[in-house]
Amino acid sequence: MKSIQATNDFVVKFANVNGSGSASANELFAKCILRMGVPVSPRNIFPSNIQGLPTWYEVRVSEAGWLGRRGGYDLLVAMNPQTWDADVAGLAAGGYLFYDNSKPLPAAKFRDDITVIGVPLTDLANRNWREPRQRQLFKNIMYLGALSVLLGIERDVVVGLIGEQYKSKPALLEPNVHALDLGREHAQTKLAPIGLKIERRDAVGGRIFVDGNSATALGMVYGGATVCAWYPITPSSSVAEAFQKYCAKFRVDPQTGQHRYAIVQAEDEIASIGMVTGAGWNGARAFTATSGPGISLMNEIIGLAYFAEIPVTLVNVQRGGPSTGMPTRTQQSDVAFCAHASHGDTRHVLLFPQDPHECFEFAAAALDLADRLQTPVFLLSDLDIGMNQRLCEPFAWDAERRYDRGKVLTAEQLEAGVPFGRYRDVDGDGIPYRTYPGTHPARGSFFTRGTSKNADARYSERGEDYIENMQRLQRKLDTAKALLPQPVLEPAGQAARCGVIHFGSTAPAMGEAIAHLQAQGLHLDALRVRGYPFAEAVRDFIDAHERVFVVEQNRDGQLRSLLIEQFEIDPARLVAILHYDGTPITARFIVRAIGERIGVAQAAPAPGAQVAVA
Amino acid sequence: MTYLPKPKLHHPSLQRNAVGFTRRDYEGAISTLCAGCGHDSISAAIIQACWELEIQPHRVAKISGIGCSSKTPTYFLSASHGFNAVHGRMPSVVTGANLANRDLLYLGVSGDGDSASIGIGQFVHAIRRGVDMVYIVENNGVYGLTKGQFSATADQGSKSKKGAINTDAPVDMVGMALQLGASFVARSFSGDKAQLVPILKAAMSHRGAAFIDVMSPCVAFNNHPGSTRSYDHVREHNHALGRMDFIAPRAAITIDYPPGEVRAVRQHDGSTLLLRKLPEDYAVADRVGAMNYLHACQARGEIVTGLLYVDPAADDLHAHLDTVGTPLNKLGENELCPGRDALEKINASLR
C-alpha cells in the first residue's frame, strides 16, 4: 500500500457530532499549526441544526499558503458513527483513518488502501472521568493529544494555547492538559509514526486568524455605526452578535456606563431595514446584517431608501437560495438580486470582500459610502468568509481617518443662506445635499417620500420631474464607480491572451488555480472585482483580452450578467465558470473547468498533496 | 378641501406663543383630502396642540406610512422634517429615527389599514418596545385611497357603501395597545376637538409609547347608515370616559371643581393631567381595569373615548437600551472609533 507522505501540505477532516464540544478542540488543532508557522485554512461544514446531527471541520494545511478549499482529505478523524461509511469512503487512497477503537468494528467497515489508527478514546475517558459531559469533552482533547504526536505538533504549543483559552478559568487548565497528555502518551507508546508531518516554518508572519463576521462587526464599530437592527438568520447572526460584543467593550461611556450604540433585534427583516432607514434618515450610521431571505423581505424599503436617498448599510452573508435553500452552505448567488433589489429601476452599490481583512475595511467603507452617496450599500460576504476563521492581513486603521458624513448642510450654513433643495444636483455629480431633522428652526426642512417629487422634494407627478430625478440617480451611481474599492489586477508573468475575473471568497482558490495553470504553461491575467457598479478598469481589462473567464459561485453567472449589462459586451467573450453545489469553490475545480475550455485539461493535474510511494 | 393656496404672509397681530411662533407657523400645505374628512380635523388638532405646547416645529419629526391618514403629515408642521414611508412600516422607521436622535418629538401618523392590517406586526413591536413616540391611528374602518374596501378595524356586521356586510371580527387597537404595554392609551373622535387636543398634548408630553386611536369618519366611503364609523354612529355611541385638561409644566394649576371630582396625574416632564368626571372606581393607572372597562363598553356597543390608561413614570426604549444622553447622530470619531492602538491589540489577540 502507498501511504501519503506529506509535510505541511495535507487536509485533515474531523467528522463530529454537533453539540459534542468538538469545535473548540478542532479550532485548537488549527491554531497549533499556525503557531508552528504553517498556514492553515479551516472550514466548518455543518447542517442546519443544533445538536445531534453530523458536523465536519476540514483543516487544510498549506505551507505554500493556499487558503482555498482543496477538496479531498488525507487524514480522517472519524468521531461520528452515523457518517462513518461516507466519511471513510471519501478518504484519499493512501490516507489515514483515525478513530475510537473502544468498540470493535467489523473489517468491512474499513478499507485496505488506507492506514488505520485506533485509539480507545471512550475507554480512556471512562477510566479517567466520571461526568458524562467531561468524558465527552476530554475525549476531544485526547484525540488532539494523539494527533499532536502523530503529526509532530509541539506539546508546548498546544499547552500554550490551552493556557490562553482558559486564562480566565484556570481551574480548567490542568484537566485539559491532563487529557492532552493522556492522548499524547497513548500515541507515543502505542502508535506507529505516519507519513503526514507538521514541521516548524515561518510562513504565517503577522497575519491574523479571524472569521469574516467578527471582522465585519469590528469594521462597523470602527466606521462609527451606532444603530444596528437585525433579525437572526444563518449565516449572518454572528455579525450582530459580534457587534454587540465589540460595542460592550469599546462603546461604553467611561463616566456613565451608558451605551454609545443601540442594537435592536427586530421582529423581522422588514422592521430591521425600516429601523436602519429611519436612523439613516435621521443622521445616525446604521446597518443591518442578514442573508438572502432577509434581503427578499427588505426589498420594498430598499427601494424606498434608494429613491428617497437615505444612507443604509446592509451586510448580506450569502448562503444558498432560492427560498430557504441551503442555509448552512455557501454561495455568491445574491449578486444580481442585490444589484437591482426592489421594484422599479434600481441599482445599488455592492462591495465584495475577499476575506476578513476586507470585511473590516469594507464595512467601515460602506458606512462612508452610504453617507457620501446617500443610498443603500451592500456588503456581500458569504458563509465561507463569514463563518470560518481565515488567515488574513491584520486589520488596519489610519489614525488620521475621519468619517465622511457626505453632503449635509449644517445649521450655520442654513442660517448663512446657503440655498437648499433636497434633490437638486448642485455639484453635477448627482449627489444632492441633505439636512438632518431638527437642524434649523426655519430652513432646511423637507418632506421625504417614496413617491415622485421635484428637485425641491415637493410631490410631483410631472413626467419631466420624474425623469430628471431618475437620471440624476443614474449619474449618482456613475459617481460611485470611482469611489468604490477599485479592482485588483494580478497580471500573469508574461503576456496573456486570456483573462479571468473573480470576486469575493473565490480569491484564495483562484490564486492557487492560476499558479497551477501557469505551471502548465497557461498564463492568465486575473482581475479581482471589489465593487459594483464596476470601475472603468474592468472594461479595459475585458477589452485587453481575447477571452475572459468569469468565475463565480452561483448557477446563473450573475456577475457576468452585470458585466454584460453595464458594458454592453458581447456575451460570447465572457465565459462563465460556475460552481454552486454549496461547498466553497476549489482550485481543482477552477483548473479543470478552465483547462477543459482551453483544451489543456490533460496538462493540468489536480493540485494537492504530493503523493509519494511509502 | 380647497384649491386656493393660503397666503404665506401672516397678519402682524397674530398671537405668538412663548417660542415666538404663531398658530399659522404650525400649519402645513393645503390638504388634498375630501371636504369633511375626519383626518383634516385631526391635523388641525395636532397644529393646535403643538402651538399650545410651545413646541419648536423643527424639533418634531412626523412620520407616516401609506394611505389617506399617512398623507396628512404634509398638511401640518411644514417646518418639521416629514417622512412618508411605505405601507405599514411607519413604526420601524420611527424606531430607527428615534434611536438616532432621542431629542426630537416623534409623531407617527397611521391609519387602520396601515396599522391594523399590513403593519400590525410593526405596531405590536413598536408598542411593546416602548418607543418614545405619539402613535396616532386615524381610524375610519375603510380603505379610502383604494375606494372603500373594509379595513381590519371595521366592525363585524357593519355595512359598506356598496352594501356588503363585513363578516370578520374587528381588530381593536386600543385593547391591543393596552395588552402590549403601551404606557399611554387613549381613544378620541375627530369631531371632538375639545377632547382630542388635550389628549394629544398629554401624549406629546409623555415619555414612552403613547397610542391614540382616533375615530375619524370617511365622508366618501364610510359615512352612511349601517356603518359603525360614520359621524352619526360615533356621536350616538360615544361613551366619553370623563374629560381631561392638560396643564403644562410650570403652569399654575387652578382647580375650580368640587373636591373629589378631579384627579391629577403628574408626568415625568412636569406636566399635569387633570382628570374629571371619571367614574368613581376608574383608576387611570390601572391597566387591567382599563382593559375591563374597554371590553364592557364594547359589549354594550359603546365606543369609549378619552384617556384610558397612563403610566406617568414610564420609561422608553432608550432607557431599556441604556443609551447615552447625547443623541447618537451627534457622536463623532472621538466617541465612536476605538482607534489604532486598540486595533493593534485586537490584531495581537488574533495571532
Burial class (CB within 10 angstroms; exposed 0-12, middle 13-18, buried 19+) of A197:
middle
So what's the ipTM on this one? 0.97
The CATH topology of domain A488-603 is Rossmann fold (3.40.50)
Residue A605 pLDDT grade (very low, low, confident, very high; cuts 50, 70, 90): very low
The pLDDT mean for chain A works out to: 95
* Residue B343 maps to a domain: no
Residue type at position B302: E
Give A568 to chain B, closest Cα distance, Å: 34
Beta-carbon separation of A278 and B338 below 8 A:
no
* Residue B13 maps to a domain: no
Beta-carbon separation of A284 and B100 below 8 A:
yes
* Residue B2 maps to a domain: no
Nearest chain A alpha carbon to B124: A267
Chain B positions touching A280 (Cβ under 8 A) are 96, 100
Nearest chain B alpha carbon to A302: B86
| Residue A449, strand partner residues | B84
Residue among A66, A36, A58, A186 at smallest CA distance from A121: A186
Q: Work out how many domains chain B is built from and give that number.
A: 1
Residue pair B247/B69 in contact (Cβ under 8 Å)? The answer is no
Q: Which of B321, B337, B343 to mutate to probe the A interface, most A CBs <10 Å?
A: B337
Per residue in A283-303, pLDDT tens?
Answer: 999 999 999 999 999 999 999
Q: Report the alpha-carbon distance of residue B47 to residue B49 in Å, rounded.
A: 6
Nearest chain A alpha carbon to B65: A449
Of B59, B332, B350, Cβ closest to residue A209: B350
* Residue B341 maps to a domain: no
Give A258 to chain B, closest Cα distance, Å: 5
* Residue B336 maps to a domain: no
Q: Are strands B303-310 and B184-189 parallel, antiparallel or unpaired?
A: antiparallel
Residue A611 pLDDT grade (very low, low, confident, very high; cuts 50, 70, 90): very low
Per residue in A329-344, pLDDT tens?
Answer: 999 999 999 999 999 9
Beta-carbon separation of A226 and B97 below 8 A:
no
Residue B134: predicted pLDDT: 98
Per residue in A155-200, pLDDT tens?
Answer: 999 999 999 999 999 899 999 999 999 999 999 999 999 999 999 9
Q: Are strands A262-265 and A227-230 parallel, antiparallel or unpaired?
A: parallel
Task: List the grid coordinates of A399.
Answer: 489614525
* Residue B351 maps to a domain: no
| % of chain A surpassing 90 pLDDT | 94
Residue A243 makes CB contacts below 8 A (sequence gap 6+) with A217, A220, A221, A225, A228, A261, A263, A289
Q: Report the alpha-carbon distance of residue A108 to residue A612 in Å, rounded.
A: 27
Q: Which of B336, B344, B349 to mutate to probe the A interface, most A CBs <10 Å?
A: B336
Per residue in A201-225, pLDDT tens?
Answer: 999 999 999 999 999 999 999 999 9
Q: Report the alpha-carbon distance of residue A42 to residue A45 in Å, rounded.
A: 10
Q: Which of A226, A259, A268, A282 to mutate to probe the B interface, most B CBs <10 Å?
A: A282
Residue A610: is its pLDDT beyond 70? no
Of A221, A261, A268, Cβ closest to residue B338: A221
Map out the domains of chain A as residue ranges. 6-197, 210-392, 411-483, 488-603
End-to-end CA distance of chain A: give it in Å, rounded.
Answer: 8
Residue B4: predicted pLDDT: 59
Residue type at position A574: L
* Residue B253 maps to a domain: yes
DSSP-assigned states of every residue in A430-468: S---B--TTS-SSSS--EEESS-B-TTS-B---HHHHHH
Strand, coil or helix: what is B186? strand
Q: Does domain A6-197 have CATH number 3.90.25.10?
A: no
Q: How many CB pairs under 8 A join A and B?
A: 228
Beta-carbon separation of A275 and B339 below 8 A:
no
Of B73, B82, B92, Cβ closest to residue A271: B92
Residue B260: predicted pLDDT: 67
Residue B52: predicted pLDDT: 96
Beta-carbon separation of A437 and B328 below 8 A:
no
Beta-carbon separation of A451 and B324 below 8 A:
no
| Residue B63, strand partner residues | B83, B108
Report phi then psi at A105, rounded to 5: -115, 145
Residue A49 pLDDT grade (very low, low, confident, very high; cuts 50, 70, 90): confident
Nearest chain A alpha carbon to B342: A250
Mean pLDDT for A491-511 is 96
Chain A positions touching B57 (Cβ under 8 A) are 441, 445
Residue A266: is its pLDDT beyond 60? yes
Q: Report the alpha-carbon distance of residue A140 to residue A158 in Å, rounded.
A: 13
Give A270 to chain B, closest Cα distance, Å: 8
Q: How far is CA A39 from CA A8, A10, A206, A556, in A?
A: 8, 11, 12, 33
Q: Are strands A262-265 and A54-62 parallel, antiparallel or unpaired?
A: unpaired
Beta-carbon separation of B121 and A268 below 8 A:
yes
Of B96, B340, B350, Cβ closest to residue A229: B96
Domain at B31, CATH number: 3.40.50.970
Give B321 to chain A, closest Cα distance, Å: 6
Q: Report the alpha-carbon distance of residue A435 to residue A422 in Å, rounded.
A: 8
Sign of the alpha-carbon torsion through A125, A128, A129, A134: negative
Task: List the grid coordinates of A130.
Answer: 466520571
Give A370 to chain B, closest Cα distance, Å: 15
Of B59, B98, B317, Cβ closest to residue A438: B59
Per residue in A389-420, pLDDT tens?
Answer: 999 999 999 999 999 999 999 999 999 999 99
Q: Does domain A210-392 have CATH number 3.40.50.970?
A: yes
Per residue in B36-95, pLDDT tens?
Answer: 999 999 999 999 999 999 999 999 999 999 999 999 999 999 999 999 999 999 999 999
Residue type at position A85: D
Beta-carbon separation of A450 and B94 below 8 A:
no
Burial class (CB within 10 angstroms; exposed 0-12, middle 13-18, buried 19+) of A549:
buried
Task: List the grid coordinates of B346.
Answer: 485586537
Mean pLDDT for A6-11 is 98
Residue A48 pLDDT grade (very low, low, confident, very high; cuts 50, 70, 90): confident
Residue A493 pLDDT grade (very low, low, confident, very high; cuts 50, 70, 90): confident
Beta-carbon separation of B74 and A251 below 8 A:
no
Residue B337: predicted pLDDT: 98
Residue B160 makes CB contacts below 8 A (sequence gap 6+) with B142, B148, B149, B150, B166, B221, B222, B227
Residue B1: is its pLDDT beyond 60? no
Beta-carbon separation of B92 and A278 below 8 A:
yes
Chain B positions touching A209 (Cβ under 8 A) are 350-351
Q: Which domain holds residue B125?
A: 23-330
Give B180 to chain A, closest Cα distance, Å: 14
The pLDDT mean for chain B works out to: 94
Task: List the grid coordinates of A79.
Answer: 468521531
b/e for A307-326, b at 16 or more Cβ within 10 A? bbbbbbbbbbbbbbbeeeeb
Q: Is it true that A210-392 and A488-603 share their CATH fold? A: yes
Beta-carbon separation of A262 and B323 below 8 A:
yes
Per residue in A305-325, pLDDT tens?
Answer: 999 999 999 999 999 999 999
Residue A19: predicted pLDDT: 84
Residue A52: predicted pLDDT: 74
Residue A600: predicted pLDDT: 57
Chain B positions touching A281 (Cβ under 8 A) are 83, 93, 96-97, 100
